[in-house]
Each structure stands twice: as C-alpha cells, then as structure tokens.
Chain A
C-alpha cells in the first residue's frame, strides 16, 4: 500500500461572488494511487481541480506537493510541480502531428529540430514503459478519440508529470476505449504515478479507483477506500438522500407506428453523410433508445426529425403520412404533434438572457392561449409557467427570474414542461439528463416513462448507456452515421455483461453478421 501523500489540500476555500464553490476542502491523495472524485454538476469538482492546476487561486487554504507547501499561480507552475491535466475537451491542434502537439509549449529554444528529436526519444521511452504507443508523425486530426486522449496523457508525461488529473475522461469514449484507458491508468499506477480521476459515473469509480471522495455543494462529504463502499452509498452521499438508480417501469404495451424514418440521409457542410441511410420506426407506448458515442450522427438525426436540419434523401412519415418538403420545418412538424427536447438547452432549448416565462413559450409563442391576435399577454405567459413550475417542481418557482439564473436541472425541467404539456403524440428527447443532478434525473426519467404509458412514442437519444438501458424498450445503436444495430434489452440489461459488451461493439461500429 502507498503511504506518502503525493498531494494534499488543506482548508481550500473559493467563492465567486455569492457562490461558494469550494468550502474548506481537505483532501489527501496517496502517491501511486488512483483517487476518484465524484459529485453532481456544480458540486465544485472542476473548481477544485482548476485551483490545483493554477487556473484559479484559492481564497484560503494550502496545497502541499510531496509534503512541501506550494503556491500554484499558473498552469506552468503546476507543471513544474509535476501536475498534469487531461481536459475533458482536448487541447490539441488537429492539423499538427502528434509530435508537434506534444512539443507545443516545450519547444526548447528558437529552433525546433533539437527539441523535436528529444521529444521523439521521450515518446519512444514512454511508449515502451507504459504501453502508450502512438505514431509520432500521424496527424492528430486523423486519430480516433481514444488515441487523441492518449496524446493528451503523453503531453503531460513528457513534461514530467507525476500527478495526472483526468477530467471526465470517459465522456467521449466507447466502452472498449474506456477499458483501454483503464488499462493505461493501471500501468501508470504500477509505475508509481498518481492519478486523480473525476467522473460522475459510479461504475468507473468502482472499477478503477483505490480511494474515492464525494463532493456535494463545494464540500467533500465522504472519502473512503473504494473497496469499502458501494455505488448506492456513493450516490447517496452525492445527493444527500437515497435515490433510485433504476427506473420503476412496467412492461411496454406498444401501439401503432407514430413516426417512421425511411432511408434518412443528412449531409454535412462538406458533403459528407452525417446520417447515412437510416430507417426505423417509433411506436406509440414505447420508449426507443438511440445509443452511440457522441458525434456519430445522433444529433443530426434528431435535428432532421425535428425539421431543423434539411434532409438530403429519404423521408419521414408521421402517422403513416409522408411529411412533405414544404412541411419539413420546426413549426410545421410541431403542429403534427411532435415535441423536441433539444440536446443542448443552452444553445437551442432556451434563451438564457430572457425571463424564464419567455423561454417557456419558445416554439409555442403563436398559441392563441398566450394573447389575442398579434399580442402576447405577459399575464398569461407568467401564469402558464407558474402552473408548470408547480407541476414539475421547478425551483425557485419564480417565472420572472432570468433563465440563466436557474440551475441546469431546473432549466431542463423548464424545457421538458414546455414540450410535454402540449400533449404531443411523439416525443424526441436529446440527452434529457445531461448536466442535471441525480434528483432531477430521476424526475425526468419518471416523466418519460409516464409519457410512454400515456401512449406517446418516445425517442431518447443519449450518450449515457446506463440511461438508455434504464429507459428503453427498444435500443438502436448508431456509429459513423449509420444504424449499426437494433436490440431488445433483456431484463436487468445494465447488469448483463454480455448485452453491454454487445452494445459496446455496435457503438464501436462492429456490425452484426446477417442472421
């Protein structure tokens, strides 16, 4: 067992205006261990890591690296103390080679030739030592996401990092890629490196970490040996009360087909097919889950179905009737009974600087219920959201508060209330619980199941496999713009290793043989 602490935080405190992001955080990470940090969005994980990496300065508290108190005012100083960071969104230049990317910021003089040679040697050494092999001359843009992440890790190691911070590293990976990452982390641990692993996926915590800390509202509420805890206990600590990780739902009673896609193809601006000849059906009274790693065409498919993105080929049928090209726009599709919870509420679903009541009429603002003729009645739009706020437990229950001032979960509930309360026949829900705390996830999931039981056709697009498996009666998998498979989940799918492995293969694009 490791004994010495690689890094210690004591009494770290940080406020942004009225927001107390970190309260008296004390944490000790043992050298040569993998330490997990979990918490809901806004729990203060990212702030804490930003302090550690020199992006923010703590208002109070002390950081000790290897027992020595240090001051970390910039990422440069963090690197000097052996701290490396792998960001969730990679900081790589696509058009440069792996070698150039690794060298960036460590060129070692005005002429790069000598620095490049040194880095090439180092990369080879690291490849041998840790099994982190990447072709140094490959263009980063040509590499898969998993290899790009490897380049990020190499960047930190080349700079002499002994402590690696990984911020939600698996968010963009397929299950096989995630397993590879865990293998790498295991090797790093064996070689004496220290890893701080930030995630909100409890399964990964259980799988890879030695110790785990749970953050809630800026505080560390629990630190324990991973072996001595359980996912239920961690989830409990994250939200401060017991939650159901599984959705309570009865068997589906599928009805008629409400929406059908036939050979749907969507082209990107460069003419590449982002959605490639996709066909499927959505039935009333059934939740269809669309799984896949982010960026494999699910977003474009969703937007095409909602009328936002033009379709290059194929057709959409609603209740058996082809949607003509003239009706393929968000307004007309809405009137055909389709509701759309967009994947990104900030970018698309809400208008952040507007009052919540005004965000809550987007897309239904032409409804005669909100005023006579050309007029919008403020009274009725405020009363409308006040009513929905009560039904969806949106807090604070103030329809006149600016949309941006609500938390992520409550913002998502505003979108959901707006789209659901229209009593649509078809519901498209994109990443319905992204960036939402566990309490709200539970609520949103139960609403989606209630919609299904009310006879709606529901499509849930999510990059969270757990979410798909908890909700879906039918599972579609997309990879590279194509549907790579359709599955009916067995009972207790989430714990069925074979089934999860099968989905992982489909998500990675390994298509089934024709049976």
Chain B
C-alpha cells in the first residue's frame, strides 16, 4: 500500500503546469540577474517581443504551429506506450514528399495541389514512422533506438538527394528550385491584406489552422473511437490488450504511421507555407522540442496546444531578448528554455505530492467522486 496521489482534475491539468512554468521563470530570472540584467526588463522584453505586436504574435504562432505538430506526434505514440523521438526524420521525409508533389504538379491548380502536397507529406512521414514501428512490432527492435537512427538516415538521405538529384541547376545551394506559386499555402498577412487590413509580414500561414484541426482530430480519434481505445489500452496495459483481442503489432504500426504523419506537419508549415522550396535542416530541432511539448501538455491535445504556445513565446520572445540585451546570448535563451523543459517535464512530480497533501488536508466542501 502506498499513499495514493489524487489531485482534482483542474489542479492536475492547470495548477501543476502553471506552478512548474513559474518555477522555471523564477530560476531563469535568477540566472539572468546573476549576469547583471534585470529579470523584470528581460521578462518584459520576452513578453512584448512575443505577444506585444501583430508581427510578434505572427512569429510566435508560426513557431507554435511546428510545436503543435511535433507535440501531437510524440503524444499520439505515447498513448500507445511508444516513445517516438523520430519527429525530425519523419518531418524531413514529409518535406521530401511535399516537394516531389509540388515540383511535379505544377500543372495542377492550387486548390488541388496544396491538399495533394499535404497528403504526400503525411504519407512520406508516415512511412518513416511506420518502418521503425514494424521493426518494433515484428522484430523487437527498440523504437527509441530505431527512430534515432532514422533521424540520421533521413538527414543523410536528404543531403544526398539535394546535392545530387534535386539541386536547382546552376545553384551552389543544396536546395531545389522554388515550387510553383500556386503550391504556396496562403499566409495570414496575405489574406489580411487581401481583405484590406494592413498587417506585418510574418511566416504565419494557414498551416496553423491545420495544426489546430489535427489537435481536435487526435482528441476525437483517441478518446472517441474504437481504434483510439485500442491504442490507449495497448499503451496502458499491453497484456490486457492481448487478452481483449487487440493485436499489439497492428496497433504499434498504425500508431507510428499516424505519428510520423503528424510530425510531417512541420514540413507543410516550413516547406509549403514559408520556404516554397525543399532545403536542408528545415526541421531545426522542432521534432525534439515536441517531446518536451508533449510531456508538458500531458499527452493531451488541449495541453499540447497551450504548451506549444508557451514554447512559441519562448522561441520568439527569446530571439527578441537576445537581440535587445547584448549580455544575453542565444545560449542563454536555450538555457531558459531548458529550465522550462526541466521543471515542466522532467520535474513534473516536484509539486504533485505536496499539492496532494494540501488537497487531502483541505476539508471536503462537496462529496462525490474523487
């Protein structure tokens, strides 16, 4: 017998993450103060630099889009008890799929080409997730190891293709020719301008809505369908899943395929929404940040959207901070982001037992289910 830790749902979903983030900011503030910068100034710069203007918000939401995709990818796999850290590689392959369609589909109209590009990204990314899933399910190769290796494989493959096959003629850069203009996903500032609303140019594009739609779809899928039930059961108790007639091998492959497809949303945002050409290293570590996002969002789509926004703020506000305060280097920003990951993800249990004790000690104001 051990002391059961049961918190009210709202405390579990809201209070614990908020306390963790505050702790991260306090510790980060101490570090900032230690190098002689006022933590208050730094916080103000961080907030105004990420939320204070239309332009700032646009960049913040653009980063948020990438984090939602990779966060969902990690969370979906996590529901099946799998640790997919191959988001980088899956997004890279997604980029390849999107580029192949966009480069060869120039004769198609935009309303057809863009969805086809998105589907191609999902299929390519999905296959890059499915193969490690297959190896786990049928061969017992550990998914953590294989997905890491598949990140390197994807990176190497992309380097090879961009140098040898897909490079634009007469170009020294390892990147393709620009996609046809109708392949570009509409940007938010473009839409606003078309409506006569003046706005700053930011990379934010309609992929953001796709990300939100994916979050909602994942929630529906995981918590409202039979297959979602099978995925959660496999994750929570694989033995019970087998007993219940669920084939774990099928669930693992399906989940990894879908997880890879979600990760390739990064390619949609970056390749089809911003760069309009395929280039190296466009995934920029978003796949790894997705692990922190999923941890912080408790593997729940709503939590992931909010955690993604927080990381979007840290990315964009952090860039402003490094620009504004010469004493604060880019590495400093990474350190502060690291605190957030540390306190919100790894040290999530820090407050839980104490809160549980407080809640147990509080007089029950209403009776009912725990």
Contact = CB atoms under 8 A, between A and B. Distances in A.
Closest 8 CB pairs of A and B: A331-B245, A363-B244, A362-B244, A330-B245, A17-B3, A348-B243, A351-B237, A374-B225
A329 B370 CA distance: 37
B227 A374 contact: yes
B225 A376 contact: yes
Interface of B: 1-4, 224-230, 232-233, 236-237, 239-240, 242-245, 247, 356, 360, 369-370
B249 to A, nearest CB: 12
A362 B242 contact: no
Contacts of B226: 365-366, 370-371, 374-376
Interface residues of A, number: 41
Nearest to B225: A374
A398 B232 CA distance: 21
A450 interface: no
B90 to A, nearest CB: 25
Contacts of B227: 374
A351 B360 contact: no
12 contacts: A16-B3, A19-B4, A46-B1, A342-B243, A347-B239, A347-B240, A351-B237, A351-B240, A374-B227, A376-B225, A398-B369, A402-B370
A357 to B, nearest CB: 11
B224 A376 contact: yes
B242 A308 contact: yes
A375 B245 CA distance: 18
A47 B232 CA distance: 34
Interface of A: 16-19, 21, 46-47, 306, 308, 329-331, 334, 340, 342, 347-354, 358, 361-363, 365-366, 370-371, 374-376, 378, 396, 398, 400-402, 405
Contacts of A329: 245, 247
Given A348-B239, A358-B229, 19 more contacts: A17-B3, A17-B4, A329-B245, A330-B245, A342-B243, A347-B239, A350-B240, A351-B240, A352-B236, A352-B237, A354-B236, A365-B229, A365-B244, A366-B226, A374-B226, A376-B224, A376-B228, A376-B229, A401-B370
A341 B237 CA distance: 16
B239 A405 contact: no
A398 B2 CA distance: 23
Contact of B232 (A350, A354, A374, A396): A354
Contacts of A331: 245
Contacts of B240: 347-351, 362
A218 to B, nearest CB: 11
A299 to B, nearest CB: 12
A21 B1 CA distance: 9
B237 A363 contact: no
A362 B234 CA distance: 11
Contacts of A340: 243
